[in-house]
Chains A and B, each alone.
Chain A
Amino acid sequence: MSASTVRAYRSIVRKTLRDLRWQVVGWGVGLAGLAAMLVLLYPLIAEQFEGIEIENIGFGEIGDLSNPREFFEIEFFTWSPVLMTVFAIIAGGALLAGEEGAGTLELLLSQPLSRRALLLGKATGVALAAVGILVLAGVGFLLTAPWIDLRGEIAVGELVVAPLSLLTFTWFALAATMLAATLGRTRGQAAALMTAAAFVAYVLLIAADLAPSLDWLRYLTPYHYSDAQRVLTEGTVWWHQGGLLAAALVCVWIALVRFQRREIGVGHSLLSIPLGRKSRPEGTTDSGAHAG
């Protein structure tokens, strides 16, 4: 890889991180706030649910909320994959489809930058953004857990690093969204495709949990392999994590192949906006092709 390619790649990573900085802060602080709130509520909940077991619908677990490991698994880690899926759909869809819709992809691809370097730079940037969000979520535990009685069941450090177990799942969701973005033409199409896929994946998980005869369905959904629902009680299953990482890499690879083949559409630019209203430039077809 030449020095100029590395320089351009780094510029794309930096720009992607810059573009995502408020999302990182927003999602990170949101998850940190949720973590902090749950930590602060834990003593009260533990007292009220002492000896009562509840079913963790969607993940097939019976949990004791007075146990901090099970409490945080049920209340925080069960939902975190869903939240990170939403982040992935929003952020992953904007990476390429967003640039193409805005017309800035044409500016990027008129520079001496390969499509591979562009896509990988964007993927690296958003992958690092996901790390930032999950680190901030851990900070939520760090700021509150030392001041709460966790009944000696779990160390604060274990809680702080546990959100990072969602990393491979989040990367997979991001990579799948990038792939969806190369299948559709617009950010909206990519988001719709991924939302539908995430919904189906989650319904499979719930169906597997509700009917024992459908238990096999859970093995078809990536949520099962996120390990979020057992990260504090059983730990992560390394082949699950490896599988998600491999699936993420495959998605990026297919997205790359498709992106290298595709033609770049013309976006909605300022200069094509008469009197400040956005419209498609003259001579541009619905597929983004330009005949002018």
Chain B
Amino acid sequence: MSDSPAIRLEGLAKSYGDVRALDGVDLEVQRGEIFGFVGPNGAGKTTGLRILMDLIRPTAGRAEVLGLDAQRDTIEVRRRCGYLPGDLALYDSLSVDACLDFVAALRGGVDRRYRDELTDRLRLDRTRRIGSLSRGNYQKVGLVAALMSKPDVLLLDEPTNALDPLVQEEGEAILREAANEGRTVFFSSHVLAEVEQLAGRVAMLRDGRIIAVNDLAEQRRLAPQRVAVTFEEAPPAAPFEQLPDVRLVSLEGRDAVFETHDGMHALIQALAEHRVRTLETHEITLEELFLSYYEGPERAE
């Protein structure tokens, strides 16, 4: 069990009547990974996380956490997981401290100093009543509740939802620290820039199916450069179309977009034949990759 993956989903399916929220999902997340679970609304991200916490039961397949069956070894799974629901609800009548005390009493083994450190780092006022908190502060309480017992696996549904950029950065730092300590972070998000910044690997869901699992570091290494050029005058397309290892993505008037992996030198030489006004280059982003998967049904298949 000690060398089993942090999370293993095997043929996991969940239906609500005719709606298939998850449709045979297979996935392994290794220990110590920060793993992003992305997809549009209704893709099945929340359903997957809720099955791992045994809040709902799969129609078919199996979900494991640290080698434990999520439906059979529920208590042990919950003991070793910190969970932040996407639709977080807390007790409005309690203060932040009282709410965290209550969760800590249910969990046991919470280090009060670490808990206070988390609230300080996330700039959370512990004396405030939950009901009076802003959306962002409400989310911080949920994050602290999930993190404070230093669980082996963090299951976070849209963790930085409603956080302001500074706190979001701190939250991401806390999650990186958790991963550096060997804990696993499995989170869903639709903020692709955040996923790209935080996750080592990412699974993309569409209509309850995983359509791609990407290693972001590998993707960065292999990703082509995208070059956007604005010319002084509209150039002909032909010379660029013949360049080796260069793809002319578009040419509209004076604006052209190229993609290249090993052909940058040849492209610059070709560009030097023309008067260039601006030139921008960047790696393919996760968002561009994401959109390429989601552009149309035929593409995803």
Binding site for B on A (CB under 8 A): 4-5, 7-8, 11-12, 15, 102-104, 106-114, 263-264, 266-272, 281-285, 287, 289-292
Residues 59-105 of B at the A interface (beta carbon under 8 Å):
74-76, 78-79, 81, 83, 85-92, 102-103, 105
Q: Give bound CA distance, A285 to B42, whole Å.
A: 11
Q: Give bound CA distance, A112 to B73, whole Å.
A: 11
Q: Which of A5, A112, A264, A287 contacts B16 (CB 8 A)?
A: A287
Of chain A, the residue at the smallest CB distance from B45 is A292
Is the CB of B21 closer than 8 A to any CB of chain A? yes
Of chain B, the residue at the smallest CB distance from A111 is B106
What are 6 of the A-B contact pairs (CB < 8 Å)?
A: A102-B89, A107-B90, A109-B78, A263-B57, A271-B162, A290-B21
Report if A292-B106 is in contact (Cβ < 8 Å); known contacts: A104-B90, A110-B83, A264-B55. no
Q: A284-B87, A289-B21, A292-B86 are in contact. List 14 more A-B contacts (CB 8 A).
A: A4-B108, A7-B108, A103-B85, A107-B88, A107-B103, A111-B107, A112-B75, A113-B106, A270-B92, A271-B135, A283-B46, A290-B56, A290-B87, A291-B42
Contacts of A114 in B (CB 8 A): 74-75
Report if A270-B135 is in contact (Cβ < 8 Å); known contacts: A107-B145, A112-B107, A291-B21. yes
Complex interface bits, B118-138 against A, C-beta within 8 A gives 1, otherwise 0: 000000000000000001001
Contact B78 A111 (CB under 8 A): yes
Q: Which of A5, A270, A282, A291 contacts B89 (CB 8 A)?
A: A270
Q: Which of B46, B91, B103, B108 contacts A290 (CB 8 A)?
A: B46
Report if A107-B89 is in contact (Cβ < 8 Å); known contacts: A271-B162, A282-B41, A289-B56. yes
Q: Give bound CA distance, A264 to B46, whole Å.
A: 13
Q: Which of B56, B75, B135 contacts A264 (CB 8 A)?
A: B56
Is the CB of B47 closer than 8 A to any CB of chain A? yes
Q: Give bound CA distance, A227 to B21, whole Å.
A: 53
Q: Give bound CA distance, A284 to B157, whole Å.
A: 15
For the complex, count residues of B whose C-beta is within 8 A of A: 43
Q: Return B84 CB to nearest CB of chain A, in Å.
A: 9
Is the CB of B247 closer than 8 A to any CB of chain A? no
Report if A111-B41 is in contact (Cβ < 8 Å); known contacts: A269-B88, A271-B87, A271-B162. no
Q: What DSSP secondary structure best describes chain A's contact surface? A: loop
Contacts of B91 in A (CB 8 A): 104
Of chain B, the residue at the smallest CB distance from A109 is B55
Report if A270-B138 is in contact (Cβ < 8 Å); known contacts: A15-B102, A111-B106. yes
Is the CB of B6 closer than 8 A to any CB of chain A? no
Q: Give bound CA distance, A160 to B91, whole Å.
A: 37
Q: Give bound CA distance, A102 to B19, whole Å.
A: 25
Contact A111 B55 (CB under 8 A): no
Of chain A, the residue at the smallest CB distance from B39 is A292
Q: Return A223 CB to nearest CB of chain B, in Å.
A: 34
Q: Which of B44, B81, B87, B107 contacts A291 (CB 8 A)?
A: B44
Q: Give bound CA distance, A12 to B105, whole Å.
A: 9
Q: Which of B42, B45, B50, B75 contacts A113 (CB 8 A)?
A: B75
Is the CB of B30 closer than 8 A to any CB of chain A? no
Contact B106 A8 (CB under 8 A): yes
Q: Give bound CA distance, A131 to B61, whole Å.
A: 47
Of chain A, the residue at the smallest CB distance from B53 is A110
Contact A291 B19 (CB under 8 A): yes
Q: Which of A7, A263, A270, A287 contacts B55 (CB 8 A)?
A: A263
Q: Give bound CA distance, A109 to B51, whole Å.
A: 12
Q: Which of B44, B54, B89 contacts A292 (CB 8 A)?
A: B44
Across the A-B interface, the 3 shortest Cβ-Cβ residue pairs: A103-B89, A269-B89, A112-B79
Is the CB of B139 closer than 8 A to any CB of chain A? yes
Contacts of A103 in B (CB 8 A): 85, 87-89
Q: Return A194 CB to nearest CB of chain B, in Å.
A: 24
Q: Give bound CA distance, A257 to B190, whole Å.
A: 37
Q: Give bound CA distance, A107 to B19, whole Å.
A: 26
Q: Give bound CA distance, A3 to B172, whole Å.
A: 34
Q: Give bound CA distance, A136 to B102, whole Å.
A: 28
Contact A292 B42 (CB under 8 A): yes
Q: Which of B41, B53, B138 contacts A283 (CB 8 A)?
A: B41
Is the CB of B219 closer than 8 A to any CB of chain A? no
Q: Give bound CA distance, A4 to B79, whole Å.
A: 10
Contacts of B103 in A (CB 8 A): 107, 111
Of chain A, the residue at the smallest CB distance from B151 is A112
Contact B106 A112 (CB under 8 A): yes
Contact A289 B16 (CB under 8 A): yes
Contacts of A111 in B (CB 8 A): 78, 103, 106-107
Contact B78 A270 (CB under 8 A): no
Report if A292-B56 is in contact (Cβ < 8 Å); known contacts: A107-B85, A112-B106, A287-B16. no
Q: Give bound CA distance, A292 to B87, whole Å.
A: 11
Q: Give bound CA distance, A15 to B104, whole Å.
A: 13
Contact A263 B21 (CB under 8 A): no
Q: Return A84 CB to nearest CB of chain B, in Å.
A: 25
Contacts of A8 in B (CB 8 A): 105-106, 108
Q: Give bound CA distance, A142 to B282, whole Å.
A: 83
Of chain B, the residue at the smallest CB distance from A281 is B87
Q: Give bound CA distance, A31 to B102, whole Å.
A: 32
Contact A267 B90 (CB under 8 A): no
Q: Return A272 CB to nearest CB of chain B, in Å.
A: 5
Contacts of B43 in A (CB 8 A): 292
Of chain A, the residue at the smallest CB distance from B55 is A264
Contacts of A268 in B (CB 8 A): 89
